[in-house]
Structure 1
């Protein structure tokens, strides 16, 4: 009885399959091999534009500072926009607990009548918008 052997040479390569994950301001592209293992991952950040009511508004969070002392929070616009600013303060539920309009570079919000917790300050000036998280003790 003669024994014959068969040598089979199989060449496995990699196949690139692009997939995307949904995340805020980031897109990730994956490459997979034929066994389904991830071979590479690339993350790409998108520009920081915040949509609101179908319009793209410019995020000006870097131009606004909020300083809190004795349950009063002072909003400081580092740039004079020459127009009326709108403020909405909401808790995490999100229920608006305070709202105001002001046309100065600084504005103070009295939070004495609000319980301790985390609040979101949303400030809109012209076509710009900023959202800041504030913790009241």
Structure 2
């Protein structure tokens, strides 16, 4: 299902998305550019993504840096939309670790990242709240 399909199914086509969590097991690299192109993140406020870069484990060493650069470029488009990284946490699942031979170190290829959009006047975007009922004393 596409993002638009999910919103339609939930009846949220005209709603602003205050928090979007994306955890789609390495498909995020194709979906994020699509969400940006179609304007789905223009009115978003918070974006949580589990990013996967485990493809670097399987490719020849000379392909690792270009692959990571392409991922970085996708994440950089979020910054251009006003999203700032607020928090990140590495996932250290054993099968997603990459051994970097030149520095003899192991790095995680999976990370949780929380982005918050800067410059959003939250009061303008929040649903109107019901006023408290008047009570005579």
TM-score with structure 1 setting the length: 0.24
Question: Which is richer in strand?
Answer: 1
| Larger RCO (CA under 8 A, 6+ residues apart) | 2
Computing the radius of gyration from Cα coordinates, the structure with the larger value is: 1
The alignment's TM-score, normalised by the length of structure 2, stands at 0.24
